[in-house]
């Protein structure tokens, strides 16, 4: 019994790390730029397929893909920013939402055209192996994915906290116009920030692809998890996002142990509703700023 | 809780207004006549689908177009209605024609369950949650004991010839489309419509001048979901077999958003223009492309419209009309607020 609980907790923490990395990008883009990136999970899906294709064609290990995904998706993010976001930044929020919704559908249908709706898995050498840590059996992939996610989150946190660019980005998040007056190049930094958020999504996709089966048309589920992490943790704060990711992971493994698999989604929605009701104006960042 | 009354239109009526109204009536008359004498099954059924989407898009328009709170998961409520009537038929033998209001009620309750937590907040929470919920509801429909999972539910055939069945649904959906369009027209001319537009334009200001923003959003959403549920129930009877993936197909959500955005959200004419346009293009594309390519093309159209033509067809018309009037008056002292996306 105790063993079982320990397994649930360990599993929950590893899962939570993965959820946290899925949420970080969404949280930063929403918190700092005020953009509701509904296409976030589509980029996560593309990240998974990025690793899948590299693995299948060139047998590149997913761990390597994780680091490769970052620059690739950063570039993609900057491109999306230049092509799409700059045009709707000052328009009413609904207009930006519709555009991002279109982007999400576009990416999903392109994914379906390229890879069909089949469910895929990445089977590296260490998949299906596990190690015994004390009394707890842990799957290797989860350990690796969790470690990568943690590394990424820590790097992100340090970047925002200690580098000049990071500070400028945070300043922009606090007050865009004040940051502009003191000489922050808001345009360029917004592009960087959006690129970083998408890069995060891509890398998160790689870690998710290592652990879970994936297909283009179920990507929206990741949006649900990422969104849950974000509203629980608040916006634009990496440390809080990590914490809320862990909480969500623990709740999920806890619920999954008690209920049949399919009701996890019901629990997810109930959680979402409860948090939204309790944290009413907790997301002040998004309330103040529009796209 | 809320009092509803009509606002006086400030727009001057001239011959153009009557001409426009005449055109709409002529179109309506032509459609009714065709429904009575037309014999081409394909055309009747396509037009029936157009009317169905007009109803759905008008429903979406209430909160999405006027209020600016986008529902990216219209199919959730549509499917809830379809399943409600199917389950009522399967277990109690009740015809969907009778249970359509019940199905609407079930969908409205689903709408309230989603709307109450999310519409109290500003911003994109409602849009995000409606988008997310579709897949969750689909999974529930696949796994709940009384929906028969992937097996689906068969409905009772109506004892009519195929042509007459199509004719029946043609007139049913046409009638619904007229009713809902009248409703949206009335909303546009009422204080509720004004409140919704105020919410879209500036919610803080709306609250300050005394609009009960949260309640208005809840009601608008519940009404929209009710309509979607009724349509879903009729749809279930029309195709006579429903199962989770076909009923909760994402295309329905996408189509409603697309039709509203193309036609012009926040206007009662928008859905009437958008629905036939989109379905026409979809039918033309379907011949050459698979549904995924189709969807990709439509998503590109959505992006282009959001970026370059906010307001859709009606927005373009409005801008053109305003320019003409300004030319005529040459004193541009009256500014008419155009609809945002």
- DSSP codes of every residue in A114-181: HH-S--B----TTTT-EEEETTEEEEHHHHHHHHHHHHHHHHHHHHHHHSHHHHHHHHHHH-HHHHHH
Interface of B with A in 217-256 (CB under 8 A): 250, 254
- A-chain residues near B124 (CB < 8 A): 36, 38, 93, 97, 286
CB B117 within 8 A of CB B217: no
Q: Count other C-beta atoms under 10 Å from residue A141's C-beta.
A: 23
Which residue intervals of chain B are DSSP H helices? 15-37, 41-60, 74-92, 96-119, 125-143, 162-188, 191-201, 203-208, 213-239, 244-247, 250-263, 270-288, 291-308, 312-329
Contact A92 B135 (CB under 8 A): no
**How far is B50 from B274, CA to CA, in rounded Å?**
10
Interface of A with B in 56-75 (CB under 8 A): none
Place of tokens 């360029």: A188
Q: Each residue of A180-229: pLDDT tens digit?
A: 898 888 888 999 999 999 999 999 999 999 888 898 888 888 888 888 88
Work out the pLDDT band at B339, boundaries 50, 70, 90.
low
Q: Is the pTM of this model over 0.90?
A: no
Q: Is the pLDDT of residue B175 over 60?
A: yes
**Lookup: tokens for A58:** 């060139």
Work out the pLDDT band at B160, boundaries 50, 70, 90.
confident
Place of tokens 């709707």: A88
CB B312 within 8 A of CB B262: yes
A278 shares contact with chain B (CB less than 8 Å): no
Work out the pLDDT band at B332, boundaries 50, 70, 90.
very low
Q: Compute and round to an integer the Cα radius of gyration of chain A.
A: 19
Quick one: CA torsion of A221, A223, A225, A229, rounded to 10 degrees? 180
A270 shares contact with chain B (CB less than 8 Å): no
**How far is A267 from A274, CA to CA, in rounded Å?**
10
Of B70, B117, B299, the CB nearest to A94: B70
Of A273, A274, A286, the CB nearest to B123: A286
Interface of A with B in 106-135 (CB under 8 A): 106, 109-110, 112-113
**CA distance to partner chain B, nearest, from residue A224 (Å):** 6
Contact B296 A268 (CB under 8 A): no
Nearest to B107, CA basis, from B259, B223, B253, B252: B223
Regions in chain A scoring below 50 on pLDDT: 281-291
Q: Is the pLDDT of residue B186 over 80?
A: yes
Share of chain B above pLDDT 70, in %: 95
Contact A105 B302 (CB under 8 A): yes
- B-chain residues near A283 (CB < 8 A): 121, 123
Place of tokens 């949420």: A23
Q: Each residue of B27-59: pLDDT tens digit?
A: 999 999 998 888 888 889 999 999 999 999 999
């Amino acid at each position: 019994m105790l063993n079982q609980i320990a397994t649930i907790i360990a599993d929950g923490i590893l899962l939570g790390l993965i959820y946290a990395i899925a949420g970080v990008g969404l949280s930063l883009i929403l918190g700092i730029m005020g953009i509701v990136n509904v296409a976030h999970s589509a980029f996560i899906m593309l990240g998974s397929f990025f690793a899948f294709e590299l693995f299948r064609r060139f047998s590149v290990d997913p761990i390597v893909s994780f680091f490769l995904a970052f620059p690739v998706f950063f570039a993609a993010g900057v491109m999306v920013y230049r092509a799409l976001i700059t045009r709707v930044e000052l328009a009413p929020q609904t207009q930006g939402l519709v555009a991002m919704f279109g982007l999400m559908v576009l990416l999903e249908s392109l994914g379906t055209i390229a890879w069909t709706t089949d469910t895929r898995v990445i089977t590296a050498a260490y998949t299906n192996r596990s190690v015994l840590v004390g009394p707890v059996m842990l799957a290797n992939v989860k350990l690796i994915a969790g470690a990568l996610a943690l590394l990424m989150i820590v790097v992100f946190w340090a970047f925002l906290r200690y580098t000049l660019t990071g500070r400028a980005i945070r300043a922009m998040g606090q007050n865009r116009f004040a940051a502009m007056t003191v000489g922050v190049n808001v345009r360029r930094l917004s592009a960087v920030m959006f690129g970083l958020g998408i890069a995060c999504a891509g890398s998160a996709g790689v870690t998710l692809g290592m652990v879970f089966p994936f297909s283009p048309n179920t990507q929206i589920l990741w949006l649900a998890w990422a969104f849950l992490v974000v509203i629980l943790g608040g916006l634009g704060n990496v440390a809080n996002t990590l914490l809320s990711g862990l909480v969500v992971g623990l709740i999920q493994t806890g619920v999954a142990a008690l209920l049949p698999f399919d009701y996890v989604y019901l629990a997810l929605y109930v959680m979402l509703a409860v948090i939204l009701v309790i944290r009413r104006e907790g997301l002040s960042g998004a309330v103040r700023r529009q796209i | 809780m809320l009092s509803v009354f009509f606002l006086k239109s400030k727009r001057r009526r001239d011959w153009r207004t009557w001409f426009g109204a005449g055109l709409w009536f002529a179109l309506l008359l032509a459609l009714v006549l065709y429904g009575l004498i037309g014999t081409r099954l394909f055309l009747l059924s396509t037009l029936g689908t157009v009317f169905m989407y007009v109803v759905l898009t008008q429903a979406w328009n209430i909160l999405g177009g006027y209020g600016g709170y986008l529902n990216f998961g219209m199919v959730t409520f549509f499917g809830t209605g379809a399943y409600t009537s199917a389950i009522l038929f399967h277990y109690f033998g009740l015809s969907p024609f009778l249970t359509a209001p019940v199905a609407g009620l079930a969908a409205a309750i689903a709408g309230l369950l989603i709307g109450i937590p999310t519409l109290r907040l500003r911003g994109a929470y409602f849009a995000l949650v409606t988008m997310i919920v579709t897949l969750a509801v689909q999974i529930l429909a696949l796994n709940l004991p009384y929906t028969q999972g992937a097996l689906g539910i068969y409905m009772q055939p109506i004892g009519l010839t195929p042509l007459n069945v199509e004719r029946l649904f043609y007139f049913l959906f046409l009638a619904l489309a007229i009713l809902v369009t009248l409703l949206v027209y009335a909303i546009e001319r009422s204080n509720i419509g004004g409140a919704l537009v105020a919410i879209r334009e500036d919610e803080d200001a709306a609250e300050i001048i005394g609009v009960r923003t949260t309640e208005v959003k809840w009601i608008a959403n519940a009404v929209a979901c009710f309509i979607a549920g009724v349509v879903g129930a009729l749809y279930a009877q029309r195709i006579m077999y429903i199962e989770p993936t076909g009923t909760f197909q994402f295309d329905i959500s996408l189509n409603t958003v697309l039709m509203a955005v193309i036609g012009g959200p926040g206007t009662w004419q928008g859905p009437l223009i958008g629905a036939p346009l989109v379905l026409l293009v979809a039918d033309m594309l379907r011949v050459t492309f698979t549904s995924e390519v189709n969807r990709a093309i439509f998503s590109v159209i959505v992006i282009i419209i959001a970026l370059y033509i906010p307001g859709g067809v009606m927005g373009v018309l409005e801008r053109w009309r305003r320019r003409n009037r300004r030319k005529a008056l040459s004193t541009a002292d009256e500014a008419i607020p155009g609809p945002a996306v």
